[in-house]
Structure 1
Amino acid sequence: MFDYLIIGGGSAGCVLAARLSENPDISVALLEAGPPDTSVLIHCPAGLAVLAKTGQANWQFQTVPQAGLNGRAGYQPRGKVLGGSSSVNAMIYTRGHRADYDHWAAQGNPGWAYEDVLPYFKRAEHNQRGADAFHGASGPLNVMDLAQPNRFGPVFVEAALQAGFEPNPDFNAERQDGVGLYQVTHKNGERFSAAKAYLTPNLTRPNLRVFTGAHVTRILLERKRAVGVEFHHEGAVKQLKASREVLLCAGALQSPQILMLSGVGPHAHLLENGIATLHDLPGVGQNLHDHPDVVLVVDAPQAKDLFGLSFSGMVRAIQGIFEWRRHRSGLLTSNFAEAGGFIKSQVSEPIPDLQLHFVVGKLVNHGRTTTFGHGYSCHVCLLRPRSRGSVTLASKDPLEPPLIDPNFLGERDDMDRLIRGFKLMRQILAQPALAAIGGRELAASARARTDAEIEHFIRDHADTIYHPAGTCRMGPGTLDVVDAQLRVRGIEALRVVDASVMPRLVAGNTNAPVIMIAEKAADLIRAAQV
């Protein structure tokens, strides 16, 4: 018996495990389906390229065929390891726009406006630039400028300035608009995941137990109260009980799946899958949305200091391995997506609706397709998509992946914004700073010149940029799943704490916001102990 059971050892689960176990009188168990985060590919920042190619530490989900992507099934990578997606992501630290959180509050979620959540961002953060009105310098999560950025990140920024965009040295301060170099979750030349920040330093606490290889199959309910979990572990089906609360932190794709497997969800859907309805909650699994993203790739064979597969590139990589192993410095400290920015698809937009990620290498098919030679890539993603989809059950088999339908580009407005964004991205890459390299856009996109041709390219090539959210939406409505305290409506002693509770996706990378949500949740949970 534990006081708290935490389902999922990703970003939110690691934060909760650390914060709740600060009280020595409270016992906490964390259950993670994946392994410990021991792989060198996790800790070496550039190891993410190999992780992407091999699928290591990754659930490797697929969407159902997407009409908006010309019938293609999209790739949905999610971390399956301690640290979750923070152990396999590109380590970019952004929070979104202040308007995102004010919107959450305006939807009936008191305590979630920007001024309410800013203290939790600061509490989590140890920014090596130092503390100020927007940043903390004493939190567990190390945030820093890239120690040895590739020289082409600043070249991209220069090109964007030549295209008329404003510089922005800090996307998480007074304003989000503009272009610059991203800060990253690194420390001493290594990835600094939520596991390394929150969990690893506290594993010796006697009141904290971590189970890896523990695949939770359902939450145990008694008279609409969560009392424990059932999970597969070491070849057996086991159960653990919770005297206080069960905290569901399995992410936007698996938190709704686990709720439905437990009998909490839309009655008709549970019925068709042969699951007894213990609590009819229609919104579970609804409101799925993500940042649709398309990549423009440029072949630049003369730019040998860009990442690439060539003889010289392999020599540099081998040298980088020795330098990283000896000094935790050099080539392999790159997160690849080193620069970018937040821009408006048209002048009339009040705040940025697009995000750019500039990658110092040729990125095709999430890095899973081998591409030879040197070059660079640029992503453009839509920050506030109108399209909404769902996560549903494929069957009552808890080991079968859920049916994931983001409904990418289901709304015409989403496509129109991406077309405008694609043209702006191309305009930046055509500026003298980058044109001087002599690169050539790959043929697949180079053929797309008219809006109709660009739309066709987008539908053939767009996919996620890894930010699913919204499937256990927070709010007071009939299709909302949790309240402003993150408590599941109609069920006692059960909260959801992850990106699934976002009423609307934040305008930026989601790791820092999920850590913030968990920091705030820890306070909400502790307040309920009194």
Structure 2
Amino acid sequence: MENTIDFIIVGAGSAGSALAGELARRSDATILVIESGPAAERNPETLSADGFKYCFANDNVMRDRFSEKLTGLNGRSAYQGTGWTAGGSGAVNGMVYTPGDAKDFNSWPAGWQWQDVSPVFKRLEAELQPQAREATGFTQAAIDAGNLSGFAHKDGLMDGDLKGFIGHNAMNYQGDKRQSSYQVYLHQANLPHLELMTETLVHRVLIEDGKAVGVEVEQYGRRQRIYANKEVILAAGALETPKLLMLSGVGPATVLDQFSIEPKLIQPAIGQNLHDHPNVCMFFRGKQKTDFGYPQLYAFDRVNALTALPAEQPDTCFAFFSAPITLHQSMLRMVPTIVLPKILYRQKAARTAVRSLVNLAFKISPLRRFVDQIYGIVVILGKPESRGSLTLRSSDARDQAIINPAYYEHPDDLLTMINGVKRAQQIASQTQMQAWGNQPLSAGAKTTEFSALKQWIASATMTTFHFCGTCMMGDNDDAPVNPRLHLKGIDGLRIADASVIPEVPVSAINAPSMMIGLRAADFILDEHGLQPTASTHESSSTPQTASETA
């Protein structure tokens, strides 16, 4: 293996799978993809369109993490888990496919503007074939209520124009199958020169004389070194990639010195610029059973005119939540994180005991009937100004990093969220929602008073699992990654995941992460002069070369 691998890709998530599959079928390069989680086939719900609700409660496919205690949450720690299996978070999420608003990319480096990335999204869409789900009685009532609240109706939401629109968003599924990048680019592909290693922990990148030459890994208790002839590409996600870099000797001097890690490159920006989409969910009870089963209805708008965003750029996302479908599974995951101290949460027996109580509660017929009529409007802070950080907790790759997403540390973020809650209240108050039933259950749905909403937001906020920015790309000296995704200062090492995003789009980041993976493949093919062979699988659409897009 040491002498035959051209490219080592760490992480088989949304970006890593798209990168690996695209690179494999457009060249004859040998590729090894290393995934710390289990194979997807061991948890078949990760391959099913209806399996998303079960994935969230499955410890086998979710990596648990917790933030530090956060000032913006009144000293509360926030759950920060991500997908942990072949397919990554793209194997466990709600399958929402939204590229973002065109103006989101104005803050990205040259070569990454909307006109540059839009063709790559089109290539991705040709593969995944995302589609909107059909309207239901509830979703049509919500759209009509949105119209009365100032939103225009538009389904798909893939065209880069999001402000002021409500509609059935595109989702990456086909029939009963999830269309994740893993499913499309790896699982269903025939790529003989690509190997996937699962349940394999990467301890560090091997760096010699300023060049990445391989990785040190552990699989089933056995440690080994694997070498790459051409490149090592990190696609482990915004919470793991910077941690791995620090463990490899790339990061702030104080961190490397604290844990006696041999410095390979002093780069203070590694682990900085961490941000996420915090959200709150306002629950309402209808007069009948909620009739939609997926996160299939979204809206976007600008609710805070005082921030520095361009006037037509949306800053808030609204998602509609069906309690009968997902509340039970969500509570199986989240209730133990709330009621158990961290030291107990790590014990499987304690989690199992709490989950047994949740399961018991949901067997009570009156409670089930009550839940069947509950829906939610999730208010998502789409353009946070707060920036947090991530650093090592120890020199052991098994230990989670110290995570501070800095929710609401910038005062504009709290104001935007409060305005967003009031906007959602406006939607819920319209005639159509009154007819469906709009009895408010959440404290945040019952008041417009600033201090009361501030307290409720601090108590109700959770992550939307859109972590990004910790290895920001850019031309400026503060950015550790250049626009062609090379880690500056180390040869043969590239970053291709959400950690390179300089400023998060207003929408979900699954589609942008896959786009980053495809662009990384373009850059690699261009720079190494790799050409397709007669046996190489061709892409279903004509790819744009890196020289055309950079």
What range is the shorter-chain TM-score in? 0.7 to 0.9
Q: Is the 8 A contact 1:142 1:197 kept in 2?
A: no
Which structure shows the bigger proportion of residues in strand conformation?
1
* Distance in 2 separating the partners of 1:443 and 1:18: 44
Aligned to 1:321: none
Q: Secondary structure at the match of 2:486?
A: coil
Instruction: Please show how residues 429-448 of structure 1 align to structure 2 within 5 Å.
Output: 429-448=428-447
What is the identity, as a one-letter code, of the residue corresponding to 2:103?
A: A
* Distance in 2 separating the partners of 1:242 and 1:517: 22
Equivalent of 1:356 in 318, 328, 334 = 318
Aligned to 1:115: 115
Aligned to 2:413: 414
Aligned to 2:16: 13
Q: Is the 8 A contact 1:168 1:180 kept in 2?
A: yes
Equivalent of 1:219 in 189, 195, 205 = 205
Aligned to 1:311: none
Equivalent of 1:340 in 291, 298, 305 = 298
Q: 1:205 to 1:51 in 2, by over 3 A?
A: closer
Aligned to 1:194: 181
Number of equivalent positions: 483
Q: Is the 8 A contact 1:283 1:478 kept in 2?
A: no
Q: Secondary structure at the match of 2:166?
A: strand
Q: Secondary structure at the match of 1:423?
A: helix
Greater shift, 452-461 or 471-480, is seen at 471-480
Q: Is the 8 A contact 1:306 1:376 kept in 2?
A: no
* Distance in 1 separating the partners of 2:489 and 2:160: 39
Aligned to 1:317: none
* Distance in 1 separating the partners of 2:153 and 2:250: 48
Equivalent of 1:205 in 172, 191, 194 = 191
Partner deviation per Cα, 1:29-63 (whole Å, 9 max, x = no partner):
00001111122322333322222233340112111
* Distance in 2 separating the partners of 1:294 and 1:22: 42
Superposed displacement of residue 238, structure 1? 1.7
* Distance in 2 separating the partners of 1:153 and 1:29: 44
Partner deviation per Cα, 1:230-258 (whole Å, 9 max, x = no partner):
11112211211000000000000000000
* Distance in 1 separating the partners of 2:445 and 2:172: 34
* Distance in 2 separating the partners of 1:31 and 1:150: 41
Q: Does 1:464 align with 2:463?
A: yes
* Distance in 2 separating the partners of 1:14 and 1:94: 18
What is the identity, as a one-letter code, of the residue corresponding to 1:168?
A: K
Q: Is the 8 A contact 1:342 1:354 kept in 2?
A: yes
* Distance in 2 separating the partners of 1:174 and 1:166: 15
What is the identity, as a one-letter code, of the residue corresponding to 2:25?
A: E
Aligned to 1:455: 454
Q: Secondary structure at the match of 1:118?
A: helix
Aligned to 1:54: 58
Q: 1:44 to 1:350 in 2, by over 3 A?
A: same
Superposed displacement of residue 448, structure 1? 3.7
Q: Secondary structure at the match of 1:63?
A: coil
* Distance in 1 separating the partners of 2:490 and 2:380: 37
Task: Structure 2: give runs of 5+ residues left out of the alignment.
Answer: 336-357, 530-550
Aligned to 2:37: 34
Q: Is the 8 A contact 2:39 2:198 kept in 1?
A: yes
Q: Is the 8 A contact 1:31 1:211 kept in 2?
A: yes
Q: Is the 8 A contact 2:100 2:160 kept in 1?
A: no
What is the identity, as a one-letter code, of the residue corresponding to 1:393?
A: L
Aligned to 2:540: none
Partner deviation per Cα, 1:103-153 (whole Å, 9 max, x = no partner):
21xxxx321111111111111112xxxxxxxxxxxxx2221122x554312
What is the identity, as a one-letter code, of the residue corresponding to 2:117?
A: V
* Distance in 2 separating the partners of 1:24 and 1:410: 46
Instruction: Please show how residues 78-117 of structure 1 align to structure 2 within 5 Å.
Output: 78-104=82-108, 109-117=109-117
* Distance in 1 separating the partners of 2:66 and 2:305: 36
What is the identity, as a one-letter code, of the residue corresponding to 1:251?
A: G
Superposed displacement of residue 228, structure 1? 0.3
Q: 1:151 to 1:36 in 2, by over 3 A?
A: farther
* Distance in 1 separating the partners of 2:493 and 2:378: 38
Partner deviation per Cα, 1:426-454 (whole Å, 9 max, x = no partner):
11011111111234211533454301101
Length-normalised TM-score, structure 1? 0.88
* Distance in 2 separating the partners of 1:413 and 1:443: 23
Aligned to 1:304: 289
Instruction: Please show how residues 84-163 of structure 1 align to structure 2 within 5 Å.
Output: 84-104=88-108, 109-126=109-126, 140-146=127-133, 148-163=134-149
Percent sequence identity is 33
Task: Structure 1: give runs of 5+ residues left out of the alignment.
Answer: 127-139, 308-333
Length-normalised TM-score, structure 2? 0.85
Instruction: Please show how residues 194-273 of structure 1 align to structure 2 within 5 Å.
Output: 194-202=181-189, 204-273=190-259
Superposed displacement of residue 205, structure 1? 2.5
Q: Secondary structure at the match of 1:220?
A: strand
Aligned to 1:424: 423
* Distance in 1 separating the partners of 2:144 and 2:26: 50
* Distance in 1 separating the partners of 2:296 and 2:472: 32
* Distance in 2 separating the partners of 1:236 and 1:18: 27
**For the aligned residues, what is the CA RMSD?**
1.8
Q: Is the 8 A contact 1:382 1:418 kept in 2?
A: yes
Q: Does 1:382 align with 2:381?
A: yes
* Distance in 2 separating the partners of 1:174 and 1:246: 32
Q: Secondary structure at the match of 2:389?
A: strand
Superposed displacement of residue 359, structure 1? 1.1
Q: 1:306 to 1:70 in 2, by over 3 A?
A: farther
Q: Is the 8 A contact 1:5 1:28 kept in 2?
A: yes
What is the identity, as a one-letter code, of the residue corresponding to 1:344?
A: R
Q: 1:60 to 1:448 in 2, by over 3 A?
A: farther
Aligned to 1:487: 486
* Distance in 1 separating the partners of 2:160 and 2:471: 30
Q: 1:211 to 1:174 in 2, by over 3 A?
A: closer
Superposed displacement of residue 169, structure 1? 2.4
* Distance in 1 separating the partners of 2:429 and 2:53: 27
What is the identity, as a one-letter code, of the residue corresponding to 2:299?
A: G
